[in-house]
Amino acid sequence: MLELLLPPPVDPLWDLTEAYGADARPERLNLVLGVYRDQTGGTPVMAAVREAEMRLAERSASKEYRGLSGNAAFNRAMLSLVLGSGSGGGAAERAVAVQTVAGSGALRLLADLICRTRPGTTVWISDPAYVNHRPILEAAGLTVRTYGWLDAEGRFDTAGMLRDLGGARRDDVVLLQGCCHNPTGVDPSAQAWEAVAELAAERGWVPFVDLAYHGLGDGLEADLAATRLLAERVPEMLVAISCSKNFGLYSDRTGCAVVLGASRQSLRHVETALQNAARTLYSMPPEHGAAVVTAILDDDGLRALWRAELDGMRARIEDNRRGLAAELTALGWGAQADVLARQKGMFSMLPLTARQMLRLRSRFAIYGTTAGRINIAGLPAHRVPCLAQGVAAVLGEGAE
């Protein structure tokens, strides 16, 4: 049997990570994967997570099977965190939430739900998009189309996006990253989100919001504003939530799939459909990360500690971004620096071509994706000048 297996495509990001691992230069800098690193280059366990884990260890609850929807208290906590208690005309009241295997599991489970509801549905994703959006949607059997995201100056292209989405039909679904767009770091303005919400309400297509970086852009509430706005304006919506980045629970695989309906009655089959989909994929999600998140969000003290740590991470990311822009300006690349300074969240898109990114790697041992994406949250502050010098040097060599 196995001799029939054709060589599968290699995951470009893990391929780059391997190349980084084999690079012996001591100054090497890994900015490929979206992982927060502190000043020492480590990815710390947040203090709120550590404290929640201690409390859970003391309680030592049973590891008996949980239900197919995972941890019910976690699901309630996710609904109130993301939709807010008072917002969205009581959006949480007309929503179902199911714990998933991180954000990726939520994306896949919701893609399955779309397919079970209406096979062959078209889902629109941004161009460029998170590298896994298309494969996850296509693996579930959905058709993918794209809408524009950036204009020629690297700004959010409101007109282009609205023009492209003008082609979305009532039966379509539109996948939108709720904040801190991966890979560009460029988000719509509040007015642009208003226009998107208006278009969704008018045309009747279903927004599918992917939330992976809330808290790391403009702050938790600001980063959730677009999701809450959409929830207020449309009858039906899907939300995939990841706790990987904002709780630092990358390997605990913690996330949640949320479905909003026009009424509770319209949701009557949703949870069972999601459970059936989960049953065929992985049965039940892992408990640990969900228990940790619930212990944090349900305790005022731990919640405040987590919010403070999240704000600290956001501030460090912002300092890196501002520092990089300032260094580049000082090196004579002010226009390029301005583009970088407008970006948000864990990622920045360097204004470099694929060839320039390769030169950044070969000459300076700085690893980002060939599309220009770097994890600005993975940069120790004292290395900001090295990155700026490398970028300035390859910019100076020209685009070829």
Ligand X SMILES: Cc1ncc(COP(=O)(O)O)c(C=O)c1O
Binding interface with ligand X (CB under 6 A): 34, 102-104, 130, 177, 182, 210, 212, 242, 244, 255
Quick one: 184 or 356, whose CB is closer to ligand X? 184
Contacts of 6 by beta carbon, 8 Å cutoff, 6+ apart: none
Contacts of 301 by beta carbon, 8 Å cutoff, 6+ apart: none
How far is it, in rounded angstroms, from Cα 226 to Cα 162?
A: 16
Question: Which H or E element spans position 367?
Answer: strand 366-367
- Shortest spacing between CB 33 and ligand X, in angstroms: 8
CA distances from 182 to 158, 176, 260, 271, 358 (A): 17, 11, 24, 29, 20
How far is it, in rounded angstroms, from Cα 320 to Cα 344?
A: 11
Quick one: 146 or 389, whose CB is closer to ligand X? 146
CB 147 within 8 A of CB 164: yes
- Shortest spacing between CB 210 and ligand X, in angstroms: 5
- Shortest spacing between CB 204 and ligand X, in angstroms: 25
- Shortest spacing between CB 209 and ligand X, in angstroms: 10
- Helix (H, G, I), strand (E, B), or coil: what is residue 11? coil
Q: Give the number of other CB atoms < 10 A from CB of residue 272.
A: 12
Quick one: 210 or 318, whose CB is closer to ligand X? 210
- Shortest spacing between CB 251 and ligand X, in angstroms: 9
* Angle subtended at Cα 297 by Cα 292 and Cα 301, rounded to the nearest 5 degrees: 105
- Shortest spacing between CB 130 and ligand X, in angstroms: 4
How far is it, in rounded angstroms, from Cα 52 to Cα 86?
A: 27
Quick one: 128 or 255, whose CB is closer to ligand X? 255
- Shortest spacing between CB 4 and ligand X, in angstroms: 30
How far is it, in rounded angstroms, from Cα 389 to Cα 138?
A: 40
- Shortest spacing between CB 30 and ligand X, in angstroms: 15
CB 151 within 8 A of CB 186: no
* Angle subtended at Cα 175 by Cα 170 and Cα 178, rounded to the nearest 5 degrees: 125
With 0-12 CB in 10 A as exposed, 13-18 as middle and 19+ as buried, what is 158?
middle
CB 260 within 8 A of CB 91: yes
- Shortest spacing between CB 244 and ligand X, in angstroms: 4
